[in-house]
Amino acid sequence: MAHQKKILRRDFMAAGVAGSLVLSNLRQARAVSANDRINVAFIGVGGRGGANLQTIFGTGEVNVVALCDVNSRNLGRAAEQHSKARTYTDFRQLYDTTEDIDAVVVSTTEHTHAFATLPALKLGKHVYCEKPLTHNIREARIITAAAAKAGVATQMGTQIHGMPNYRRVVELIQSGAIGNVTEAHVWVSRAWGRQSPEDAKTNRDIVSVTERPQETMTPPSDLDWDLWIGPAPYRPYNEVYFPGPKWYRWWDFGNGTMSDLGSHWIDLPFWALKLDAPKTIEAFGPEPHPEIAPASMSAVYEYGARGSLPACEISWYQGSHKPQIWQDGGIPQWGNGVLFVGDKGMLLSDYGKHILLPEENFKDFKRPEQFIGNSPGQHQEWLAACRDGSPTGSPFSYAGPLTEANHLGNVAFRAGKKLEWDAASMKATNCPEADQYIGREPRQGWSLS
């Protein structure tokens, strides 16, 4: 274990926390010429995985050579459309035959992302992985280091990162439109998690659960429940876990709204403010439950100075928690948003629009020249990178640290204490009880070694 920590520390420091447009020196296991199709294996082909399969195949640039899903219905549907592809239920078996695979798309549940991704990186395959990149901080560190060593094209599926609005916001912030930014507030209205049936109905949650169910149910005939559980501690099947995204509120399988929507929303200040690892993290909300993520909570991250950029504070709010300035009516009360506060004004953004505040102060404002190129889309970026090493917007060198930061909000919430974070050693130096939430040992038969 001590040797592993030394390796993780060394690899983290070597990989760094590079910006979101990273040009890697790509080493391809199988050269893909401009005229050849890219041979792609898809792990997880239902729901979001099905959408990824449809979009990537629809580019006309790929051959679908392998399909994998623990749900035979999803697998059968995909196999009907791609009859030449090999099919698997267990992605560990998919990796037994990889000579004809150039790249892998991972769209499984959160708790198996790292386990489906790491073998591909070790084999020198390009990887597209859905957000969040991993289930916990230790896994994120392992995947980030493995990607840096592999030198392949990587992309985390945060599609909003490739949209024009985020790019224009980053240009405004980084060109000094609102001056030095010392705080940012990120809020989402979704309130899914542990709550009463009444609150779940009010918040339009898809399932109401307050404790682990005692009833054991028979899994659907088309689901391999043991493989779905994968590296998580085994538990009997119950319909409160499946299908997705019911599972995302259970700590064993996901990390609630914080890691799910945080991947999209905290992405914007993380990019614009060139954030790295936070110095401290403190969370607020209901009494932590040992098994279920909260519906509503908030977290505050303190970041040190970064080059010429000043120290700053990033605050996250979900569900009923909102920034004070929002509650006071000091800004437009958008249901979801990111508010940057600078010494010359404020900028408010959501996925598709943004405004400078106070608006009267910026009526004659001239926007900076665009210096971040528009994206053809997250999938297309990644496919181009597989061919020629061009940059992707959310490579694992960026997505790994972003994922760690999001998980740290949950670690602070579950530990019930303000954490002093030492990123290099992957330790909350003042809170040894947080270790249990930073990583976990996988179930027997599963490994990240």
Beta strands in 277-393, from DSSP E residues, in sequence order: 280-284, 297-303, 312-318, 337-342, 345-349, 354-357
pLDDT for position 34 = 65
- Cα–Cα dist 366/296, whole Å: 39
pLDDT for position 32 = 72
Mean pLDDT of all residues belonging to the chain: 93
pLDDT for position 125 = 98
pLDDT, tens digit, for every residue of 32-72?
766 689 999 999 999 999 999 999 999 999 999 999 999 99
Per-residue pLDDT, averaged over 226-249, amounts to 96
User: Which strand ranges, in their side-by-side order, compose the sheet holding 126-130?
Assistant: 86-88, 62-68, 38-43, 103-106, 126-130, 154-157
pTM, 2 dp: 0.92
Is residue 9 over pLDDT 70?
A: no
CB neighbourhood size of 212 (10 A): 16
| Domain residue limits at 146 | 2-162
**Three-class DSSP category at 391:** coil
Residue 7: band (very low, low, confident or very high) from pLDDT cuts 50, 70, 90: very low
Beta strands in 158-311, from DSSP E residues, in sequence order: 181-188, 280-284, 297-303
113 belongs to a structural domain: yes
Per-residue pLDDT, averaged over 19-39, amounts to 57
Beta bridge pairs of residue 42: 67, 105
pLDDT above 70 covers a percentage of the chain that reads 92
67 belongs to a structural domain: yes
13 belongs to a structural domain: yes
User: For the chain, what is the domain count?
Assistant: 1
Q: Output the six-digit token pair for 417.
A: 């204490």
135 belongs to a structural domain: yes
6-20, 28-42, 326-340: which has the minimum mean pLDDT? 6-20
268 belongs to a structural domain: no
47 belongs to a structural domain: yes
CATH of the domain at 91: 3.40.50.720
27 belongs to a structural domain: yes
145 belongs to a structural domain: yes
In angstroms, the Cα distances linking 61 to 19, 37, 349, 387, 393 are: 28, 5, 34, 10, 20
